[in-house]
Structure 1
Amino acid sequence: MKITLSTLNSRYTHSSIGLRYIYANLHELQNDTQILEFSINDAIQTVGEKLLADKPDVIGIGVYIWNVSEVVELIHILKKISPQLIIILGGPEVSYSPFRVDLDDADYIIQGEGEVSFYELCKQLKRKEKPQNKIISMSTPNLKELVLPYEFYTDDDIQNRYIYVEISRGCPFECEFCLSSMDEKVRAFKLDDVLEEFQKLWDRGARNYKFVDRTFNLNIKASNRILDFFLAKDEEYFAHFEVIPDHFPASLKEKIKQFPHGALQLEIGIQTLNLEVAINISRQLKLEKIRENVSFLENETHAHIHLDLIVGLPGESLESFGNNLDTLVQMSSCEIQIGILKKLSGTKIDRHDINYGMVYSDIPPYDILKNSTLSFNDIQIMKRFARFWDITYNSGNFKNSITLLWENQSVYENFYAFSLWIYTQTDSTWKISLQRLGELLFKYLHEEKDGNPQTIADIMLQDMMKLKGRAVPSYLKPYAQDFIQDAKKGTSGFNKRQN
């Protein structure tokens, strides 16, 4: 029986750790199994063609919120061309009911962690036995008994993609918007075995590691051993961890301080700073610890920090969200990712639907459309706000000049006004070139905010100095003669691009 494992990653640079876990634990079936990965940007019919090329008997597909629409189309094509093909689905998007897309054409759906269940199902199919149920219920394998997947990252993966790794599964917290809250027990792999595999990856040239643990700094002993693994390395590397903001004991802080610039990225889920809203969604919020630890990371380490906020939580007004954003910008100059609340099947956020008038789209990614506090128009405006924030503030292209929008006033109120204005100029949030974005920012600061054009230009030029190889754009040249002269002398970094 020939088996193909596949998924559609959100980007080419991503890789699927889930497929490799399934493959690693197929035992005697492994020799007749292959992994074929694609991205959601690939033509679906071409994906289908490649999947069918080797005439597999079974195709297992990983389904996620970002690819479920494309997977539905893919299943349709596969079944039209090869009706006898057995299609098995797994992954977060099919692990909880209700399913909000039509997956009826799939033969089997495995819910939960699939390493053992997929193997057992395939053994049944090979024996020509038909399982009783189409949906195979949740299973929780013993992590210490699983075969680790890391040797099945290819050399091409190591050279061109992020390598996803983990030391634990589960989350002890109960945040109602998050699927991780459904698995409250945290389980750990054998750390010695994991570290041995990490060393093998390193020896093969792996330098980009993204940990998928939901709370990396929960077990400090394990966290410190992982950090020691990287601190012992002399070559450049990148390690990404998702951490909780209120648990940074002294031993962890001392290690984080030792990481060089560019080596460590920490993603911190803040989501809201409104205590009433946080309690309402069962989220723990220790404000003083958050302030203390974000300040430490900002001022005493070289770590790149990524903070998360959510728009649309039940009971959270735009004013409350604005206060959250203002507070975070005061606390840190790091990246602040603004997301829109999603209603994921299986989460407990649905208990607020009636009391707060929560209305969501049933089309992936299941964004909120309105609630009793925010209108549909409010949500649409905030989606554009989040996009413009990402390409200006978070991008780093306008690190200093973007702050001219607010200058000791409310960040939220001033950026809100800017996002409204820029949308009137573009009628789009996508495919805005960096040149065009800079022109719009300059125009807004000069004409709408009555800023001094020379002052604005000087600050924008200073931002540009940090982006090597960029020429002075036309809209700044009238204010940049001294700067260009310095560039020609080789003192500003632009000497090769001005003539």
Structure 2
Amino acid sequence: MNFHIVTIHAIPSPQAVPLAAACLKVYLDSRPDPGYSLNVSCAEFFSGTSLDEICDAILTQAPDIVGLPVYVWNRAECCAIVDKLRSKAPDLKIMAGGPEVTADPLSVLAAAPFDFLVVGEGELTVAEVVDRLATGKDIDDVAGVARMNAGKLQLSKRAPIEDLSILPSPWLAGLLDSHIASGVVWQLSRGCSFGCDFCFDGMGDRKVRRYPMERLEAELAYFVKRDVSQVFVLDSTFNQDVKRAKKLLRLIAKKAPLVHFHFEVRHELLDQEQAQLFSALTCSLQIGLQSADPEVAANVGRKFNRDDFVQKIMFLNEHGAIFGFDLIYGLPGDTIDRFRDGLNFALGLYPNHLDIFPLSVLPGTRVAGRAESLGLKFITAPPYTLLESPTFPVADMNAARRLGAACDIFYSRGKAVAWFNGILSALTMSPADFLEQFAGWLIGKSGAEPEESGYGDEAIWQLQREFLSVLFERHKLKRLLPLALDFVDYHYHYAASIMAVAPEIRPLTGAKLMTTLLVKPVSTRLARFNYEILDLLESGEPNLPKLHRDLQTSASFAVIYPRGGEVFTESIAEPYYRLLEMIDGESHTTDLVKSLGLPLDEAQEFLEFAVEEGIVGAQPQAGR
């Protein structure tokens, strides 16, 4: 019996990991001998790959059963693949599982000729199905299987797996080693107890089950041993069990202090100790704000207290933890004014990024069940996006989408958290007003609706500088513009430095510095400022009017570079700035120094410092 599981990812990314397929394979492979030959294989593709290519690759495996994990992003492609497979291999058994299947089995069966679906968690159901099919037995009474019978849906649900310790780890089995280099999706639990009306995670019995701590410790050690760079923690609410969360954070700090972790947390459960533990790690937190209006939150089964939210977020800010928010527009009872207020509220709390989405009326959720009575009009196929509601007409949905795109470009991609509120204070503008004007300016400039995907980081930096120049002139504040641009420029170079991958460079000492071709790593950034940059950095959040009164214009030159996991900024004299500018891996250092009229001994002392810090270095030798 050949069972072939095919995963279609949305896009190449560190999170494009076939975790569901690997969980099925490792469970099936780990069982005692089932009494027949079973081969479980897995394949991965990306959305947009030729369907004929995928089908041919599947059939090359000569499978008896094909399984497809179905998600919002691949539902249409999975259904089209089934149609093609059915025409090419009529006797092939084809099944599907995943969130789309569990939420809406009837419409999935209506959309494509699947033999059956696996609803809910798949390990136990798939094992029973495969055993029965391999031995010629019927699967009609298998719990967790959905199929059509005499034109009606036949489904007997299977209870969630209570004890997750019976499930072996696909990571520890080595099934996902090829993905470790780009990133790890680390599942700590299953289920969600909160049950927000717009989300499918908490449907069912709303019971959270957690993997044993021993397994998690072993997996973490496995990741560290294989030099994983980042881990996406798959846990609907990482800090729901506060004691367990703190234990894991201490474990990570001890075993993987340099690995970047991504967590999803609930603000209600945060405390000072958690904030301190998070800030000690290389990590980022995602917090589901969704709506800052208590009435709108209540409409979807959530409670929201602004004062409590602010207090908990201040814990994170006080300790320097990095975090972002999710914000949804178009929830039942939401309006464009309430959304704008939520946007102002969110950005006033200094999130590192703000992810803004329209409501998706997902099958199987309470919002979908009430959609007709709520007057929601939405796309009935993936991604199920809301089109309009009685309180959020089409024009307002478009306005909110435009605000979201402007925020993505200017604030989140523009790395604006450190200076955004300070600059808006000088302009006496709210975030929503500012972003609306930016979106309008961008449309006038490009002739098209703003889309974050259309801009690179450097292009966004230049857009920020250009728009702020226009705005400060419009507000008759040109005297403050040089200060504003200094903050914008510094944080662009800071982000570029920390994100760059520096090439290997050879350290040098003594006279060799003057006779070797030196290079600057891409992580070394050179920047010129209107004011002494160290004075600006010491000022904290930019108070432009005060800085303009207190500081004198004084051009400064700086080198910004990473070392030991931190980013350093050195203010240097202009001649040494020019020397660093000229170092290109092709010009002899002695010639550069002489052309600038620098004393050789002083230049050598500076370059020794630059090499020691990793600001410059020697070209790697061939073969090294």
Q: Following the alignment from structure 1 to structure 2, what is the Cα–Cα distance between the partners of residues 231 and 401?
A: 30
1:126 to 134, 137, 144: 134
Q: Secondary structure at the match of 2:112?
A: coil
For the pair 1:78 / 2:85, whether they are aligned, the reply is yes
Matched residue type, 2:114: A
Alignment partner, residue 45 of structure 1 = 52
Q: Secondary structure at the match of 1:283?
A: coil
1:418 to 425, 438, 456: 438
Q: Following the alignment from structure 2 to structure 1, what is the Cα–Cα distance between the partners of residues 580 and 327?
A: 37
Q: Secondary structure at the match of 1:382?
A: helix
Give the CA deviation at 1:275: 0.8
TM-score by length of 2: 0.71
For the pair 1:20 / 2:22, whether they are aligned, the reply is yes
Matches within 5 A, 1:52-451: 52-97=59-104, 103-132=111-140, 134=147, 136-139=155-158, 140-142=160-162, 143-151=164-172, 152-160=174-182, 162-183=183-204, 184-233=206-255, 236-259=258-281, 263-301=282-320, 303-398=321-416, 404=423, 407-426=427-446, 427-428=448-449, 429=451, 430-447=453-470, 450=474
Q: Secondary structure at the match of 2:117?
A: strand
Structure 1 residue runs without a partner (length 5+)? none
Query: Contact conserved, 1:393 with 1:402, CA < 8 A, in 2?
Result: yes
Q: Secondary structure at the match of 1:421?
A: helix
Give the CA deviation at 1:493: 11
Matched residue type, 2:42: I
Say if 1:333 and 1:198 are closer, same or farther in 2 by CA, change over 3 A: closer
Q: Following the alignment from structure 2 to structure 1, what is the Cα–Cα distance between the partners of residues 324 and 19?
A: 23
Matched residue type, 2:407: W
Q: Following the alignment from structure 1 to structure 2, what is the Cα–Cα distance between the partners of residues 422 and 381?
A: 14
Query: Contact conserved, 1:11 with 1:40, CA < 8 A, in 2?
Result: yes
Give the CA deviation at 1:457: 4.3
Alignment partner, residue 461 of structure 1 = 489
Q: Following the alignment from structure 1 to structure 2, what is the Cα–Cα distance between the partners of residues 454 and 220?
A: 46
Q: Percent identity?
A: 22
Q: Following the alignment from structure 1 to structure 2, what is the Cα–Cα distance between the partners of residues 141 and 6?
A: 24
Matched residue type, 1:58: I
Structure 2 residue runs without a partner (length 5+)? 141-145, 148-153, 498-521, 531-553, 559-571, 588-624
Deviation per CA, 1:400-425: give whole Å up to 9, x if none: 67654674421112212322332343
* Largest Rg, 1 or 2: 2
Q: Secondary structure at the match of 2:328?
A: strand
Q: Following the alignment from structure 1 to structure 2, what is the Cα–Cα distance between the partners of residues 269 and 198?
A: 26
Q: Between 458-467 and 170-179, report the one with greater CA deviation.
A: 458-467
TM-score by length of 1: 0.88
Matched residue type, 1:32: N
Query: Contact conserved, 1:94 with 1:109, CA < 8 A, in 2?
Result: yes
Deviation per CA, 1:429-475: give whole Å up to 9, x if none: 242344544444444333355263655544443333322459999xx
Matched residue type, 1:150: W
User: Which structure ranks higher in relative contact order (CA pairs < 8 Å, sequence separation ≥ 6)?
Assistant: 1
Q: Following the alignment from structure 2 to structure 1, what is the Cα–Cα distance between the partners of residues 491 and 27?
A: 50
Alpha-carbon RMSD across the aligned residues, in angstroms, is 3.1
Say if 1:138 and 1:286 are closer, same or farther in 2 by CA, change over 3 A: farther
Say if 1:489 and 1:363 are closer, same or farther in 2 by CA, change over 3 A: farther
Say if 1:166 and 1:492 are closer, same or farther in 2 by CA, change over 3 A: farther
Q: Secondary structure at the match of 2:118?
A: strand
Q: Following the alignment from structure 1 to structure 2, what is the Cα–Cα distance between the partners of residues 58 and 493?
A: 66
Give the CA deviation at 1:41: 4.2
Say if 1:178 and 1:433 are closer, same or farther in 2 by CA, change over 3 A: same
Matched residue type, 1:276: E
Q: Between 483-492 and 410-419, report the one with greater CA deviation.
A: 483-492
Q: Following the alignment from structure 2 to structure 1, what is the Cα–Cα distance between the partners of residues 419 and 442?
A: 16
Number of aligned pairs? 489
Say if 1:418 and 1:209 are closer, same or farther in 2 by CA, change over 3 A: same
Matched residue type, 1:194: L
Q: Secondary structure at the match of 1:182?
A: coil
Say if 1:379 and 1:137 are closer, same or farther in 2 by CA, change over 3 A: farther
Q: Following the alignment from structure 1 to structure 2, what is the Cα–Cα distance between the partners of residues 202 and 440?
A: 40
Say if 1:130 and 1:490 are closer, same or farther in 2 by CA, change over 3 A: farther
